[in-house]
Amino acid sequence: MALTASFLPALLERNLILQLPIEFTLIIVVFVFATLFMGEGRSFYARYGWWDNALHTGSRVVMGFVGFLVLYAL
The pLDDT tens digits for 31-57 are: 888 988 898 889 999 999 999 999 999
In a domain, 58, yes or no: yes
18 pLDDT exceeds 80? Answer: no
In a domain, 56, yes or no: yes
In a domain, 10, yes or no: no
pLDDT score, position 51: 93
In a domain, 27, yes or no: yes
In a domain, 11, yes or no: no
Q: For residue 72, which of 18, 36, 14 has the smallest C-alpha distance?
A: 18
Measured between alpha carbons, how far is 31 from 14 in angstroms, rounded to an integer?
22
Domain of residue 32 covers 17-73
Domain total in the chain: 1
In a domain, 2, yes or no: no
The secondary structure of the chain in percent helix, strand, coil, rounded to multiples of 5, reads: 85, 0, 15
In a domain, 40, yes or no: yes
